[in-house]
Every structure is written in C-alpha cells, then in structure tokens.
C-alpha cells in the first residue's frame, strides 16, 4: 500500500507496469502510438462504416493514417499484436463485435487456449493469480 | 436538505444487460447471479430514492480518444442508451437531475475538484446495466440519475485516494443542496477481470472479498491501495474498482453492510455487489 500522502514518481509508476505477466497496460505511450488504430476501430460504431469495412477491409484502412504493421495486425485479427501497437481492448471490441464475436471468444484468442478451453477455465473459477502477478518475483 | 442515504456497488458486465434484454435471467448460467440482486430490488422499491449519483466509466462509447476527462459529471436533462456496435439496449432513456448535478459540479469545483461538465452524451452498459440489475425492466426508470464518469482506461487513472476524496466532496455538496432529496450513490465496474493479453481470464476471489471487507465499517485502508496492486491481483480491468471508492468516500466515516453478493464467473468477470448504509 502507498502510505497516506505519499506521491509516486511517474517514471517509477510506469516502470512497474512492465513487470506484470501477459499484460499491456494502456499507458499514455501506448495511447499515443495507437491513436489512429483506436479511432479507426471507433468508426465501426456507425452502421454505414461497418458496411464499408465489411465490403473491403483493406480499402477501408486506406483512409486511416495507421502504420502498415497496425493495418496488417487488424486484418489478421492478431489482437495481441494490436495491443503491442497501441490498441485498447474497448476500441478493438468494435472490430470483433462487427465480426460477430463475443467478448469472451475474442479475449480467448489472446491466450494460448481455444475458446472452449478458455470458457471451461472461466467456469471453473478463472485463471489463478498464482504465479501470474509478477515476472521478476515469480509469484 | 438533500442527503446520501445509501451506497450500492455492482459490477456492470455487458453480458448481464444481454441476459435482461433477452429474458435469460433465470437460466442455469445467469440464475445464481441475478438471485443475488433480488434482495436489492425489493429494498430499492421500499426505500424509493429520488436520485442516484451513478459512478461509472464509458467504454469507448460517448468518449473516444479525442477527449479523456478524468472526472466528468453529467448535467443534462436526459441521456439515451448508446449504440455500442450492436444497436442501443432497449431500455428507457435516463432522466438527469440538472439542478442537483449543477449544484454538485459547482460545489466540487469550489472544493478544488476540477470537474468536466457534460451536457449531452449517450450512456453505455457501464451505466444502464446497474440500473437493470437494481430496477429490472420498468417502462420508465424510477429514479433520476446524475452520471459521474471516471477515466479508468488510459493510465494514469485517478488514484484510489483521490476517488475516495471526491466521494467525500460529493457528500458535502449533496448536503448543501436545499431541496429534500433521498440520494443514493452507486459505484460500478469490477470486480477482478482481465480482457486482454495472454493473462486474460484472471480472477481473484480471495482479493475481491478482502476488498469488499474493506468497504464495510470504519477502515479507510482501501483508499491507499496502489494501481499496481489492482493490476497484479485483479487483472488489467480490475482497476474499475477505484470507482467503488468514490461511493465509499461519500458514505462518511463508518458503514454498515445491508447486503453482499459475490459470484464467479460472468463471462470474463467476477461479479460483486454490496449495499451499504452510512452509520454516523
Ligand atoms: Fe467496465
């Protein structure tokens, strides 16, 4: 726990996030990198944009100032890669909802499990925090 | 004089809204989740709040990356259910309370909380799912709502301590509103869940229940839990629980627990629910 009144230094605060296994914390740096990737995803909130996207995904992406890597990651639905490139799951959700995927199914594609395996893990109480809290600490 | 008579905490998983809208709340999967809200539904009918200050977060619905307010208060007349990509939820419009909302906004700013004011927006599952959990499917919501949106998506999100202090300032603001109003404050989101990356699916029953314990009685230890602990222990999206601290802070020094419910899982998420009463 932080002691009452104690203020954290921003560099220490951000550095700690890299120690969490299998997690990309959506920091300002990621938000900057992924700005257009996320704004593109947001555009799929509108039905007419969803239609244009479904008709020709590659062509739809031409209008967005995203990097080639970001475009390829989206076309491949490689969501872990999208997270690395600054994507945020609430924005990426517009893409997988347009694909007709539930949150649970889309989320399972980021793990090393199939969707039925992932669903079973969740029904049995979810992924244990044991060993999943810290890379350095291994606890 | 207006007063905060109770606090409610609840998860706001979108799938719960789907279950309500599609009439599945009694099936094998959802039955045990909704059973834990029956007590509260009855209690809400009996206690008849006039207004709910509803602390929630927007999930890339009303706000995109263009503007990221840390704390924003809805001062509008009414709010429509947002289209989150599969059409708006078929729920009544949410009626605001502009007089109280503007009073709170002005009081908070004088109290050194520099709020963003929202006059028009749509509200997503973060706000409408808790209304469905507590009130079911009425033709019209039985309360007016003051939406209070917190950024829990882009880091740094506000500290637990700041959220708690905001709650304390909201209590002072409500108590200086001249009209006689029965006001509840709800904190929503959580509990443990992670929707991204290889660690997705993390749930932590033990930590969640410790957190529930910390909201009851006279301890204020929860306000000092650092973001890192939420991230390590409760998954990347467990940070939504800081919004429960706004609710807890608004209840004053000591609380009594009227009702408590915990269930694993709902989709990717641990469901937690508390009804608290201030006791001072
Ligand atoms: Fe949420």
Residues A93, B203: C-beta atoms closer than 8 Å: no
Please state, as a whole number, how many other Cβ atoms lie within 10 Å of the Cβ of residue A15.
10
Q: Enumerate the residues of chain B whose CB falls inside 8 A of the CB of residue A1.
A: 221, 224-226, 229
Structure tokens at B262: 């915990």
Interval B54-96: pLDDT, tens: 999 999 999 999 999 999 999 999 999 998 877 899 999 999 9
Give the distance from residue B142's alpha carbon to the nearest chain A alpha carbon, in angstroms: 30
Query: What is the rounded distance in angstroms from the CA atom of residue B251 to the CA atom of residue A129?
Result: 31
How is B10-63 classified by DSSP, letter by letter? E---HHHHHHHHTT-TTSTTTHHHHHTTHHHHHHHHHH--SEEEEEE---SSS-
Interface contacts (A, B; CB < 8 Å): 160
Q: Which of B86, B154, B267 has its CB closest to that of A31?
A: B154
User: How many Cα atoms within 13 Å fall on the side-chain side of residue B207?
Assistant: 24
Query: What is the rounded distance in angstroms from the CA atom of residue A64 to the CA atom of residue A60?
Result: 8
Q: What is the ipTM for the molecules in this complex?
A: 0.95
| Contact between residue B125 and residue B59 where contact means Cβ atoms under 8 Å apart | yes
Mean pLDDT of chain B: 97
B168 secondary structure, DSSP code: H
Interval A17-67: pLDDT, tens: 999 999 999 999 999 999 999 999 999 999 999 999 999 999 999 989 999
Does A1 score more than 70 pLDDT?
Answer: no
Q: Identify the CA nearest to B59 among candidates B80, B78, B83.
A: B83
Interval B88-132: pLDDT, tens: 999 999 999 999 999 999 999 999 999 999 999 999 999 999 999
């Amino acid at each position: 726990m932080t002691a009452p009144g104690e203020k954290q230094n921003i560099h220490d605060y951000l550095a700690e996030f890299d120690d969490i296994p299998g997690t990309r914390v959506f920091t300002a740096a990621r938000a900057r990198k992924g700005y257009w990737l996320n704004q593109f995803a947001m555009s799929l909130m509108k039905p007419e944009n969803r239609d244009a996207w479904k008709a020709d995904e590659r062509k739809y992406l031409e209008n967005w100032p995203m990097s080639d890597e970001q475009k390829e990651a989206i076309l491949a639905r490689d969501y872990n890669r999208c997270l690395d490139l600054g994507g945020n799951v609430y924005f990426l959700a517009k893409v997988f909802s347009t694909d007709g995927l539930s949150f649970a199914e889309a989320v399972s594609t980021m793990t090393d499990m199939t969707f039925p395996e992932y669903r079973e893990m969740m029904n049995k109480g979810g992924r244990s925090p044991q060993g999943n809290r810290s890379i350095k600490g291994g606890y | 004089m207006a007063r905060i008579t109770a606090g409610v905490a609840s998860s706001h998983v979108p799938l719960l809204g789907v279950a309500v809208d599609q009439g599945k709340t009694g099936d094998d999967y959802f039955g045990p989740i909704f059973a834990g809200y029956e007590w509260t539904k009855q209690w809400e009918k009996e206690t008849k709040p006039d207004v709910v200050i509803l602390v929630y977060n927007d999930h890339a619905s009303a706000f995109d990356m263009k503007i990221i307010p840390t704390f924003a208060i809805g001062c509008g007349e009414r709010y429509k259910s947002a289209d989150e990509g599969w059409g708006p939820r078929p729920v009544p419009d949410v009626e605001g309370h502009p007089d109280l909302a503007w009073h709170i906004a002005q009081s908070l700013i004088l109290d050194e909380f520099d709020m963003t004011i929202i006059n028009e927006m749509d509200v997503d599952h973060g706000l409408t799912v808790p209304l469905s959990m507590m009130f079911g499917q009425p033709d019209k919501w039985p309360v007016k709502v003051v939406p209070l949106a917190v950024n829990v998506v882009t880091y740094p999100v506000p500290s637990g301590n700041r959220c708690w202090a905001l709650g304390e300032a909201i209590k002072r603001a409500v108590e200086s509103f001249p009209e006689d109003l029965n006001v509840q404050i709800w904190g929503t989101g959580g509990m443990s869940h992670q929707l991204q990356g290889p660690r997705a699916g993390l749930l932590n029953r033990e930590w969640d229940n410790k957190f529930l314990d910390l909201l009851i009685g006279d301890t204020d230890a929860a306000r000092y839990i650092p973001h890192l602990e939420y991230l390590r222990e409760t998954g990347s999206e467990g940070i939504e629980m800081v919004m429960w601290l706004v609710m807890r802070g608004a209840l004053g020094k000591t609380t009594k627990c009227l009702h408590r419910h915990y269930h694993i899982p709902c989709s990717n998420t641990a469901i937690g629910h508390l009804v608290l009463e201030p006791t001072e």
